[in-house]
């Protein structure tokens, strides 16, 4: 590789730090990128906060201007050439590829090579490097290869050392390896991840922030990398820094929903204080913060934990359930999870109206196709969790499982791009190649079936209804339309023709256009079906107030009696009379009543299902197919189209506003 040279006699006046979150490749070698993402990167926000502090405190020298740029490969094309051109001796640019997990490593390495070829200094850090270096004395070959190209690798956390690294970059002499695994920074006074409003606008919800309030975990699960990288002794940010950042983010950018990314918030020694402060923010300052957090299965036993979480604004917990087979849990060293407690545990969260979302791993040694099917059924019928995220067991670099497999010479997938928890990366004792994937996919389809979603939505707490509803759209889109994992996929896939993984050919424009046309048509079909299904779920489950239910019964009765027999004027009088019994009833105008025959408004609101429309379209399609054109009535088609359009419009409005679509009849409805 030829690295572009720049003169070295001029001392720099400016350091431009370009923080990049790399994406990963799909199975066809294209970068996984979406028009809108769902989950912003906490590591990007964290390093941005640290860099910002250095800038404010002039830690790199008074005469040095510091500029920070952030890019996210999962939602935007990285302007590689432009960034390379911005580099000069006086205005030095350093690239930092951040939070690189194993599945992102191949993509990160490709980006690093391109920047390095352009003569830039490049740093790469995150869990792949930290995890690998925590396990092995010898640096793994894929990391060594980058170091040989002059790319610097960073292991461990950099809260205390980032300034030193950047000083090296300023002087143009980055070291090949920075290993900070031995020194775990005290987080209590360190800057909190920084929100970038412009960055958040690339995501579906721009009111969504992330903070890791603590790091480390006391447990010893063999599939997990946290203990070897962040350690078993926990460290925490102070409640003051957290609350200050939350207040500030709300006042400046309107961020009012958080994902606290701690692996286990219940083991954060400061949880009580943090919850108290959040409750005060809500009650005294009127800042309506809500959040989701990750907890272990034992969290529910902590006195006050759940009620205080609810008062603090917790709407959802992500619980490390992992399996409902005790033998599997034992094999993974996750003995703190006790299957017999699960039902009580879920019920305790539900009692405070907090939705439960469980992490579930498929591919533990005691899993078989049959047992997984039964377990997923139990998740639905017995535990009744609102959501589940399924992962295939993966020997992640940094985990005990990885170490053990390498040491015992067991075969594992050499392609790190597959370490995304939805690819088979090792053999399984009972599930053959391909079968494991099929069982995994079946788990998604079974859990996110129409019937189960309907059950969850019907029983959902009205305040949480739309959160859960929108999550279902995101999950079904990721799994059923994008064919991947919700934690990787966003909305509306983009594919850059030229950004293809090494080893895949760059297609001609025509071939690529054909590919994209196929993609777009599949996407359009997928979204059409998804939206109709979600609309039907909304019709069947949306929360209705008692007044609305009574009104609907009455309106239905009146309609049945007078339908088409009365003139608009007579109908209006009937409504005025009905108003005496139902003060909330609006008396429609004559025009509205004339339109009534077109079934607008009230009719849409009293629709519980579009099953009749579905039947109609099915019949029409069959008639078309069999050439029975004379049996197709254009007027009926126009009417059905009209009704479908109204319903879709009402659904879209309710979805966007997050209300029940009850036409303002009950402001308490979800």
Residue ranges in contact with ligand B12 by CB under 6 A:
24, 39, 41-43, 46-47, 96, 98-99, 101-104, 123-128, 130-131, 154, 157-159, 165, 212, 224-226, 230, 261, 263, 391, 396-398, 420-421, 485, 487-488
- Contact status: 219 vs ligand SF4 (CB under 6 A): yes
| CB 53, CB 191: distance < 8 Å | yes
246 binds, among ligand SF4, ligand B12, none (CB under 5 to 8 A by kind): none
227 binds, among ligand SF4, ligand B12, none (CB under 5 to 8 A by kind): ligand SF4
**Closer residue to ligand SF4, CB minimum distance, 20 or 211:** 211
**Closer residue to ligand SF4, CB minimum distance, 219 or 469:** 219
Least distance from ligand SF4 to the Cβ atom of residue 467, Å? 24
Determine the interface stretch with ligand SF4 among 79-87, 132-140, 223-231, 274-282 (rule: CB under 6 A): 223-231
Phi and psi at 559, nearest 5°, equal -60, -40
- Contact status: 216 vs ligand SF4 (CB under 6 A): no
Determine the interface stretch with ligand SF4 among 219-227, 447-455, 489-497, 655-663 (rule: CB under 6 A): 219-227
What is the crossing angle of helices 611-625 and 634-657, to 10°?
140
Distances (CA, A) of 213 to 30, 315, 448: 34, 18, 31
**Closer residue to ligand SF4, CB minimum distance, 162 or 219:** 219
**Closer residue to ligand B12, CB minimum distance, 363 or 670:** 363
Query: H helices within 124-178, ranges in order?
Result: 127-135, 141-148, 162-170
Least distance from ligand B12 to the Cβ atom of residue 563, Å? 52
# residues near ligand SF4 by CB under 6 A = 10
41 binds, among ligand SF4, ligand B12, none (CB under 5 to 8 A by kind): ligand B12
| CB 662, CB 543: distance < 8 Å | yes
Determine the interface stretch with ligand SF4 among 59-67, 205-213, 222-230, 429-437 (rule: CB under 6 A): 222-230
The rounded distance, in Å, linking the Cα atoms of 480 and 484 is 8
| CB 299, CB 266: distance < 8 Å | yes
- Contact status: 40 vs ligand SF4 (CB under 6 A): no
Burial grade of 124 (CB within 10 A; 0-12, 13-18, 19 or more): buried
Over the window 318 to 347, marking each residue x when it contacts ligand SF4 by CB under 6 A and - when it does not, the resulting string is --x---------------------------
| CB 500, CB 29: distance < 8 Å | yes
The rounded distance, in Å, linking the Cα atoms of 659 and 263 is 32
219 binds, among ligand SF4, ligand B12, none (CB under 5 to 8 A by kind): ligand SF4
**Closer residue to ligand SF4, CB minimum distance, 231 or 661:** 231
- Contact status: 131 vs ligand SF4 (CB under 6 A): no
| CB 91, CB 14: distance < 8 Å | yes
The rounded distance, in Å, linking the Cα atoms of 506 and 499 is 8
539 binds, among ligand B12, ligand SF4, none (CB under 5 to 8 A by kind): none
Ranges within 261-320 binding ligand SF4 (CB under 6 A):
263-264, 296, 320
Determine the interface stretch with ligand SF4 among 119-127, 175-183, 215-223, 468-476 (rule: CB under 6 A): 215-223
Distances (CA, A) of 185 to 168, 180, 230, 300, 654: 20, 9, 10, 29, 46
DSSP 414-456: S-GGG-SSSS--S--SSS-TTHHHHHHHHHHHHHT-HHHHHHH
The rounded distance, in Å, linking the Cα atoms of 18 and 68 is 6
The rounded distance, in Å, linking the Cα atoms of 237 and 621 is 61
- Angle among Cα 420, 449, 24 to the nearest 5 degrees reads 15
Least distance from ligand SF4 to the Cβ atom of residue 398, Å? 11
Least distance from ligand SF4 to the Cβ atom of residue 231, Å? 11
- Residue 97 Cα to chain centre, angstroms: 21
Q: Nearest-CB residue to ligand B12?
A: 125
Query: How many other CB atoms are found less than 10 A from the CB of residue 581?
Result: 10
96 binds, among ligand SF4, ligand B12, none (CB under 5 to 8 A by kind): ligand B12
Phi and psi at 19, nearest 5°, equal -95, 125
- Contact status: 227 vs ligand SF4 (CB under 6 A): yes
337 binds, among ligand B12, ligand SF4, none (CB under 5 to 8 A by kind): none
- Contact status: 221 vs ligand SF4 (CB under 6 A): yes
Which of 285, 378, 362 lies closest to 328, judged by CA? Answer: 362
| CB 32, CB 489: distance < 8 Å | yes
Least distance from ligand B12 to the Cβ atom of residue 74, Å? 7
- Contact status: 397 vs ligand SF4 (CB under 6 A): no
Which spans of this chain sit near ligand SF4 (rule: CB under 6 A)? 217, 219, 221, 224, 226-227, 263-264, 296, 320
């Amino acid at each position: 590789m030829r690295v572009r040279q720049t003169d070295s006699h001029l001392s720099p006046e400016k350091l431009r730090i370009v923080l990049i979150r790399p994406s990963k490749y799909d199975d066809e070698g294209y970068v996984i990128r979406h028009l809108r993402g769902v989950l912003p990167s906490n590591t990007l926000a964290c390093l941005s906060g640290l860099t910002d502090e250095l800038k404010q405190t002039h830690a790199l020298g008074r005469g040095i201007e510091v500029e920070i740029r952030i890019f996210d490969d999962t939602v935007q094309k990285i302007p590689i050439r432009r960034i390379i051109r911005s580099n000069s001796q006086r205005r030095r640019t350093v690239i930092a590829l951040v939070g690189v997990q194993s599945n992102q490593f191949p993509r990160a390495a490709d980006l690093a090579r391109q920047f390095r070829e352009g003569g830039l200094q490049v740093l790469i850090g995150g869990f792949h490097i930290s995890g690998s270096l925590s396990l092995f004395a010898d640096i793994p070959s894929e990391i060594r290869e980058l170091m040989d190209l002059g790319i610097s690798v960073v292991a461990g956390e950099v809260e205390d050392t980032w300034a030193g690294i950047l000083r090296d970059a300023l002087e143009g002499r980055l070291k090949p390896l920075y290993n900070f695994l031995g020194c775990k920074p005290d987080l209590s006074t360190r800057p909190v991840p920084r929100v970038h409003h412009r960055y958040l606008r690339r995501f579906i919800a721009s009111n969504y922030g992330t903070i890791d309030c603590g790091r480390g975990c006391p447990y010893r699960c063999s599939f997990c990398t946290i203990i070897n990288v962040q350690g078993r002794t926990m460290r925490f940010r102070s409640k003051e820094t957290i609350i200050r950042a939350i207040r500030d983010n709300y006042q400046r950018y309107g961020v009012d929903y958080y994902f606290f990314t701690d692996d286990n918030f219940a083991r954060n020694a400061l949880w009580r204080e943090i919850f108290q402060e959040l409750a005060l923010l809500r009650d005294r300052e009127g800042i309506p913060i809500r959040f989701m957090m990750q907890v272990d299965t034992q969290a529910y036993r902590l006195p006050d934990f759940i009620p205080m979480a609810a008062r603090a604004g917790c709407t959802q917990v992500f619980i490390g359930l992992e399996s409902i087979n005790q033998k599997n849990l034992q094999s993974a060293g996750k003995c703190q999870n006790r299957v017999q407690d699960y039902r009580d545990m879920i019920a305790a969260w539900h009692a405070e109206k907090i939705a439960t979302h469980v992490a579930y791993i498929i591919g533990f040694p005691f899993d078989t196709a049959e047992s997984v099917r039964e377990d997923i059924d139990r998740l639905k019928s017995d535990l009744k969790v609102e959501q589940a995220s399924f992962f295939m067991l993966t020997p992640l670099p940094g985990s005990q499982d990885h170490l053990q497999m390498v040491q015992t010479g067991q075969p594992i997938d050499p392609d790190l791009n597959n370490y995304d928890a939805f690819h088979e990366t090792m053999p399984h004792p009972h599930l053959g190649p391909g079968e494991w994937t099929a069982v995994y996919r079946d788990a998604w389809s079974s859990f996110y079936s129409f019937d189960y979603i309907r059950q969850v939505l019907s029983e959902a707490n009205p305040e949480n209804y739309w959160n859960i509803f929108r999550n279902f759209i995101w999950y079904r889109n990721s799994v059923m339309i994008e064919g991947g994992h919700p934690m990787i996929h966003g909305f509306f896939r983009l594919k850059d023709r030229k950004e293809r993984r090494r080893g895949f050919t760059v297609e001609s424009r025509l071939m690529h256009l054909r590919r994209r046309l196929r993609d777009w048509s599949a996407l359009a079909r997928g979204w059409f079906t998804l939206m109709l299904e979600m609309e039907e779920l909304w019709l069947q489950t949306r929360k209705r107030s008692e007044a609305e239910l009574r009104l609907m019964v009455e309106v239905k009765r009146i309609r049945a009696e007078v339908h088409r027999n009365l003139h608009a004027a007579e109908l209006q009088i009937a409504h005025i009379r009905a108003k005496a019994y139902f003060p909330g009833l609006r008396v429609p105008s004559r025009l509205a009543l004339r339109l009534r025959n077109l079934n607008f408004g009230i009719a849409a609101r009293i629709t519980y299902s579009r099953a009749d429309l579905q039947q109609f379209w099915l019949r029409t399609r069959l008639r078309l197919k069999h050439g029975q054109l004379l049996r197709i009535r254009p007027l009926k088609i126009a009417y059905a189209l009209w009704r479908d359009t109204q319903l879709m419009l009402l659904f879209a409005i309710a979805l966007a506003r997050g209300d029940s679509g009850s036409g303002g009849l009950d402001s308490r409805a979800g």
